[in-house]
Chains A and B, each alone.
Chain A
Amino acid sequence: MTALEKFQNNRNALGWAFMLPAAVLLLLFLTYPLGLGTWLGFTDAKVGRDGEWIALENFSFLVGDSVTRLALFNTLFYTVIASILKFGLGLWLAILLNKNLPFKSFFRAVVLLPWIVPTALSAIAFWWIYDAQFSVISWVLTQLGLIDRYIDFLGDPWNARWSTIAANVWRGIPFVAISLLAGLQTISPSFYEASAIDGATPWQQFRHVTLPLLTPIIAVVMTFSVLFTFTDFQLIYVLTRGGPLNATHLMATLAFQRGISGGALAEGAAIATLMVPFLLAAIMFSYFGLQRRAWQQGGDK
């Protein structure tokens, strides 16, 4: 046998050979950048200038930095509230779409629109909606005589937080709704028939049939949803750039501001690295919390 034939007949070697392209892609485009980013967080690199290893100095700096702490609070608040709202409204929408509506496919397609529009564009639309001088909401409310001065959507710290959350929810609902709709459709109608015969009310059906069977999908969808929300950047960057008074700065926008605009690449990387534990916690929660076998089989009693 030639070497080539030997190779072709060796299951191990072939296996490695087939895995190689995927492994190279993963290493090159995922592991390397991630590792580099983490490593940078432990150096004092500036944009374009290699840094020296300074261990935890960046992190101890960030822990004492009021803006970073505020950004961490903002990010957690933004993620928790927006994810809960997206889940509630998305599930509700999915259940509605799962009913026999007229023009069902039309509605299902339309629901996806906010998700399809590039974030940068929808963010600009929201920027106008929330504008201090040109807000259409304020205009309508003043025309109706309900308010006498324009609402300061993005100029007041708490208003700004709620406004950005609303924009994020608007954009995130379709993803949750359509994914959960797919989940709903995998639930066999016979469960509902059986429970109806037993005299279950619609609420009981939802509580004891729909929810348990949907849990695995919910776990996956909400993991993704939380990750997207936690790492949101574009929306904030267009709407407020982190203002007013840094009230809407998220970890991602702060990392960019410090790392790229400010040139402190290492500090930006350190902020990004600080996000990792929170993201891991979110993933762990969905894995070990929501994906319990018993739940999946509807036997949570």
Chain B
Amino acid sequence: MDNFNRRRFLESTAGAAAGTALGAGAIWAPAVHAQATTAYKPEKGAKLRVLRWSRFVQGDIDQYMKNVAAFTAKTGVEVRVDNEGWEDVRPKAAVAANTGAGPDIILSTNDDANLYPEKLLDVTDLATYLGKKYGGWYPACEAYLRPDGKKWIGIALGAAGSMLVYRQSQVKAAGFDAVPKDTAGFLAMLKALHGKGTPGGFALGNATGDGLWCNWLLWSHGGMLVDKDNKVVIDSPETIKALEYGKEMYATFAPGTLSWLDPNNNKAFLDGQVSITNNGISIYYAAKNSKDEKILAMKEDIHHAPFPVGPVGVPTESHLFFNQMIMKYTKYPQAAKEFLRFMMEQEQFDPWLAAAGGYIAHPLDAYSKSAVWTADPKNTAYRDCVKNMRPAGYAGKLGYASAGAGADFIVVNMVAEAASGSKTPKEAAERAQKRAERYYKV
């Protein structure tokens, strides 16, 4: 802790500026401002290269680049930002980590940081500072980025939430005021929607993003891929219960969900063919910004809700998680840390959350008060995404096995097999067990 210095900032000016931009400066408690700001002193002549996943919504990258420009203006450190599709970041980051050359900072997804933890800069000091200042990190962040419970190997950025998106009018017509908060009620609602000819639909194809609801299904009934010691335990009575529930859900779906990839549910929903699905806030975002009168009119009718809580009694959500990793080979570790600190401070992070329009949920509790979650009440459902999420390799350790099992759609395939009736729930669970055991090498 002696290789960086501490410095106090006159926070008021910057804070006020961000406040006016949002029109909600008062929500930030003075306690936040009164704290010391840890600042790292960038190395002389430092330059940074950042590789990040390309934006899902335009507002994200616009504000991100504004923040980057502000960082350069303040520190004189030049920053080059490269964008790649999020699924392409994984191989690039792995190659960079292992060849020891490439971007200084990489914004990656899910368990990427756990594939090469020893190649990442220890950022425990920065994580501790941010955690203290902003109300603490959510447990999922620790699961992803503090694998040994001591050392932080990256800084959490947040998650793109996958939530229930539904047509209020159709849910009402089916006899429900809102989406029930428990799985039993939820199934009853799906059945009622189906009965009214306005079915729901959830992707069961090899969809990397929208297939995440299958994790919720499994976890909500107490099933899990592996236990704490990475022992594969998916062939369990809990999993069977989940699959039986999934089978009943599937019977109420719109036709064709077995073929659905990531974009299908968006298209079907905006065309009025499904009444409820799971998605990021992008459907609402698209409707809000649509030039098509019909779709724009749907905007008022689109509502969001968290996934219902199952027999386990706690929320068990699954979302796309974002890491910020500093590569150990960087020549400018102090500049890189300062960059991440700067981007995570409220003056930058809060406007960025706002610009992303609810697409990205924060990893630090203090940002629950961010104006974006109340500016449009429809955003609120996405607020607690990181708080309620579990890593995809739950409840085991993350690494190559969890990444491989996830990419191979083991859970999604299992749910699809059982739901469509091509296998019994027991057979599907046994097959998933065998497939997973190969990754977790028993």
* Partner-B contacts on A (CB < 8 A): 46-50, 61, 65-67, 130-134, 149-150, 152-157, 160, 240-246, 257-258, 260-264
Contacts and interface: CB of A to CB of B under 8 A. Distances in A.
B196 interface: no
Given A133-B268, A243-B205, A244-B416, A47 B254 contact: no
B236 interface: no
A134 B206 contact: no
A65 B255 CA distance: 30
B438 interface: yes
Given A155-B260, A262-B406, A263-B115, 19 more contacts: A47-B91, A47-B95, A48-B94, A48-B95, A48-B98, A49-B116, A66-B434, A132-B254, A133-B267, A149-B255, A240-B205, A241-B261, A242-B206, A244-B416, A245-B258, A245-B420, A246-B413, A263-B94, A263-B403
B243 to A, nearest CB: 14
8 contacts: A47-B95, A66-B435, A67-B435, A131-B264, A133-B271, A240-B205, A243-B259, A261-B407
A155 B257 contact: yes
A155 B261 CA distance: 11
Nearest to A157: B422
B407 A240 contact: no
A46 B273 contact: no
B400 A243 contact: no
Nearest to B273: A133
Interface string B93-106: 01111110000000
B206 A241 contact: yes
Contacts of B435: 65-67
B431 A134 contact: no
Contacts of B90: 47, 260-261, 263
B404 interface: yes
Q: State the 6 A-B residue pairs at the shortest beta-carbon distance, nearest first.
A: A132-B256, A154-B259, A262-B407, A48-B94, A48-B98, A155-B259
B205 A244 contact: yes
Contacts of B206: 240-243, 246
A152 B95 contact: no
A258 to B, nearest CB: 7
Contacts of B417: 245
A45 B193 CA distance: 49
A244 B204 CA distance: 8
A87 to B, nearest CB: 29
Nearest to A263: B403
A243 B271 CA distance: 24
B266 to A, nearest CB: 11
A50 B256 CA distance: 42
Interface residues of B, number: 44
Contacts of A154: 205, 256, 258-259
A67 B205 CA distance: 15
Nearest to B423: A245
A200 B258 CA distance: 54
Nearest to A150: B255
A257 B408 contact: yes
B271 A134 contact: yes
B246 to A, nearest CB: 14
Contacts of B416: 243-245
A134 B263 CA distance: 13
Contacts of A258: 404, 407-408
A155 B255 contact: yes
A149 to B, nearest CB: 6
A257 B256 contact: no
Contact of B422 (A65, A132, A245): A245
A263 B422 CA distance: 29
Interface in B76-100: 87, 90-91, 94-99
A84 B6 CA distance: 73
Given A48-B116, A66-B435, A245-B413, A133 B408 contact: no
A249 B408 CA distance: 11
Contacts of A160: 259
A139 B404 CA distance: 39
Interface in B83-140: 87, 90-91, 94-99, 115-116
A236 to B, nearest CB: 10
